[in-house]
Chain A
Amino acid sequence: DTGVSQDPRHKITKRGQNVTFRCDPISEHNRLYWYRQTLGQGPEFLTYFQNEAQLEKSRLLSDRFSAERPKGSFSTLEIQRTEQGDSAMYLCASSLDRGYNQPQHFGDGTRLSIL
């Protein structure tokens, strides 16, 4: 049973460095989402792809953040010039493209720590 896969699971970096995370969705899922979760909070929506098109971005997604899904399969999330406040768990989710209310299935996330 192949679920949503995220890599790396943990990333430690110095402030000011760039980082990139990868997400491989469930194979038949056309929709892909990125969320951020900090300790004691629920996940917060960042952005959403349908196939290779990025259809929505949250106000949380500053100019230092960029996400891509070049061939409509895996996706990458890059954070440039990392700041202390970027420390969080970055979660990826995917769902079927069959109208509304399709459940989103989450990976186990990438935990980012900024030194």
Chain B
Amino acid sequence: EDQVTQSPEALRLQEGESSSLNCSYTVSGLRGLFWYRQDPGKGPEFLFTLYSAGEEKEKERLKATLTKKESFLHITAPKPEDSATYLCAVQTYSGGGADGLTFGKGTHLIIQP
């Protein structure tokens, strides 16, 4: 069974204090790994797709990287508006929900001014 584990569960940073969120996965065959941002009372907002080990993608203060067993979301000099829950999800070749995403529980990030 596909598993996605995110750490830490919660993270509190000062504005400007860079850090990384971790997403480790155990799957039978990875098609893609996705990062989403979710604000309270809203649906997940797509950030990045990563396909293969070694791939990196950037958007503003966020950078996502992928290895064969985990992905990192690096946040550089965060601002209070970066506060949200960050979700990691995988899409796999295995049967049963092969087109659906398997999500982790998310990391709740708070950036204090």
Contact = CB atoms under 8 A, between A and B. Distances in A.
Do these two chains interact?
Answer: yes
Interface of A: 4, 31, 33, 35, 40-48, 55-56, 58-59, 91, 93, 100-101, 103-109
Given A101-B32, A108-B43, A58 B96 contact: yes
B43 A106 contact: yes
Given A42-B87, A101-B31, A101-B91, A33 B46 contact: no
Interface residues of B, number: 27
Interface of B: 4, 31-32, 34, 36, 41-46, 49, 51, 87, 89, 91, 96-106
B43 A91 contact: yes
A41 B85 CA distance: 11
A42 B103 contact: yes
Nearest to A44: B103
